[in-house]
Amino acid sequence: MKRRALALAGFATGALAGTVLYRRSAGRRRDRVDIYFDDGSMVSFVEGSPEADRLLPVARDVLATARR
Partner 1 sequence: MDPAQALADLAEISSQIEVAVLFDDDGAVVGSTVDDADTARALVRGALGLLEGAGSFRSEGGRVTQLEAATSEGSVFVVRGDGRGIVATTGPQPTVGLVFYDLKSCLRGAGKEPEPEKPKRRRRAPAAENEAGSDEA
Q: Could you list the residues that contact partner 1 (CB under 8 A)?
A: 29, 31-39, 41, 43, 45, 51, 54-56, 58-63, 65-68
Q: What is the closest distance, in whole angstroms, from the C-beta atom of residue 52 to partner 1 in the complex?
A: 8
Instruction: Give per-residue burial for 15-48: e unless 16+ CB within 10 Å, then b.
Output: eeeeeeeeeeeeeeeeeebeeeeeeeeeeebeee
User: How many residues does this entry show for the chain?
Assistant: 68
Q: What is the closest distance, in whole angstroms, from the C-beta atom of residue 42 to partner 1 in the complex?
A: 9
Q: What is the closest distance, in whole angstroms, from the C-beta atom of residue 48 to partner 1 in the complex?
A: 13
